[in-house]
A and B are shown apart, each in its own frame.
Chain A
Amino acid sequence: MTAAVYAARKKSCALLISQDLGGQPNWTTGIENYMGYQFIEGPELMQKFEKQVKQFPLDVKIGQGVSSLSQIGQGFEVKTDGGESYQAKAVIIATGKHPRPLNVPGEEKLRGKGVTYCAICDGPLFADMKVAVIGGGNSALEAASDMVKIASHTYLISLTPLTGDQVLIDNLKNADNLTLFLEQEVLEITGENFVEGIRIRDLKSGQEKELEVGGVFVEIGLTPNSGFMKGVATLNHLGEIEVNCANETGVPGLFAAGDVTNVPEKQIVVAAGEGAKAALQAYRYLQRLSQ
């Protein structure tokens, strides 16, 4: 959205295409480190961004994701999930990340039926039930910390020893309704219409076990939304688009910004700043093209 505003202010003919406006901050409750706001909830901040975007004469297409990006001639063609196609001399990719799925049987079938990727959103729905939280990092530890106050019992299942901050690990030490399963892999999420259980295997002994749970919170990190442009620009081993400090991808006219790139810090204020930089670079690129 920041890139769109900067492009509009440079009087570029710009089109903003997105599945939704806001992305990851829409799933965040409390933000205390976006300057100008001591505390603001993610959706509210994104609404303010959206209002600012709408003040400019920009074309905005929301509700459709981009299915492919390809180079044509000296420019690019972007196709959307809805089958629409757009051509441009320059493109800025700022598609962010999405929660990494487990990719185990039962996960897709039971998504929204006990399998969830947002403990903040859905946690309270599992009051007095047994739940599993998958992951060993900060997100999983925070989800477990929330769930021990809500669920009757919480199983924290991690492929590795816990990797999160010690203070979060310590917070869980006194929970008497928490069981840790470390160095265990998830084999399957079971259930007919809703989640009923989860099957896990101990990586050391090979022993399998089925736990009866009503909810599974998948908190194993985030994946860049870069799949649609494979082969066009270089991705690193994490699937992030590699950019230099001018947000250039190495493909003339193709820029990228924010969490989808290899920028080391994934923060809202950083992503917004990167979007501004990318838009200004794109403007300079278009100026050089027209000379």
Chain B
Amino acid sequence: MAQQVKVYSTPTCPWCKRTKQFLDENKIPYQNLDVASDKAARDEMTSKTGQLGVPVVDIDGDVAVGFNENWLRQKLNLQQ
């Protein structure tokens, strides 16, 4: 079954762009949630992580804050 990937991001955050670029390069589909304009998404992000910082990546309920390439590769079964 395909993994559900969500990225909580803001338009200006360099790490958010890097995260999305990584997912695009590896052809991983994801839902981008702009927490700058979408308050419900912002609240969802803070309740999942207890913090207010981006990017946050949710892969089938497992959550990481920040761009963590090792974690992404492991969770998405990509070559290290």
* Max chain A Cβ within 10 angstroms of own Cβ: one of B14, B16, B17: B14
Partner of A121, one of B14, B21, B42, B70: B14
| Contact, CB under 8 Å: B14 / A26 | yes
Interface band, chain B: 20 to 34
Contacts of B53 in A (CB 8 A): 112, 116, 121-122, 125
Say whether B14 contacts A127, CB under 8 Å: no
Q: Is the CB of A125 within 8 A of B54?
A: yes
The distance in angstroms between the C-alpha atoms of A287 and B28, with both chains bound, is 48
Q: B76: shortest Cβ distance to chain A, in Å?
A: 17
Residues of A within 8 A of B35 (CB): 124-125
Contact bitstring A122-142, B, C-beta under 8 A = 1, else 0: 111101000000000000000
**Is the beta-carbon distance between B70 and A113 smaller than 8 angstroms?**
no
Number of interface residues of A (CB under 8 A): 23
Q: What chain A residues lie within 8 Å of B65 (beta carbons)?
A: 112
Within the assembled complex, what's the spacing in Å between the Cα atoms of A193 and B50? Answer: 8
Contact A43 B14 (CB under 8 A): yes
Task: Return chain B residues, CB-CB under 8 Å to A112.
Answer: 51-53, 65
- Report the separation of the CA atoms of residues A41 and B10 in the bound assembly, to the nearest whole angstrom: 15
Docked-complex contact B54 and A122, CB < 8 angstroms: yes
Q: What are the interface flags for B1-39 relative to A under an 8 Å C-beta threshold, 1 for contact and 0 otherwise?
A: 000000000111111111001000000000000011100
Q: A112-B65, A194-B52 are in contact. Are A120 and B14 (CB under 8 A)?
A: yes
Q: Which of B29-80 contact A (CB under 8 A)?
A: 35-37, 42, 46, 50-54, 65, 70
A114 an interface residue at 8 Å Cβ cutoff? Answer: yes
Any B CB within 8 A of the CB of A52: no
Say yes or no: is A285 at the interface (Cβ < 8 Å to chain B).
no
Question: What would be 27 A-B contacts, judged by CB atoms less than 8 Å apart?
Answer: A26-B18, A27-B15, A28-B14, A29-B14, A41-B17, A42-B14, A43-B18, A43-B21, A63-B70, A114-B52, A116-B52, A116-B53, A120-B13, A121-B10, A121-B13, A121-B53, A121-B54, A122-B13, A122-B53, A122-B54, A124-B11, A124-B13, A124-B36, A124-B37, A127-B37, A193-B50, A194-B52
User: Chain B: residues with CB nearer than 8 A to chain A?
Assistant: 10-18, 21, 35-37, 42, 46, 50-54, 65, 70
**Chain A interface (Cβ within 8 Å of chain B)?**
26-29, 41-43, 47, 63, 112-114, 116, 120-125, 127, 193-194, 215
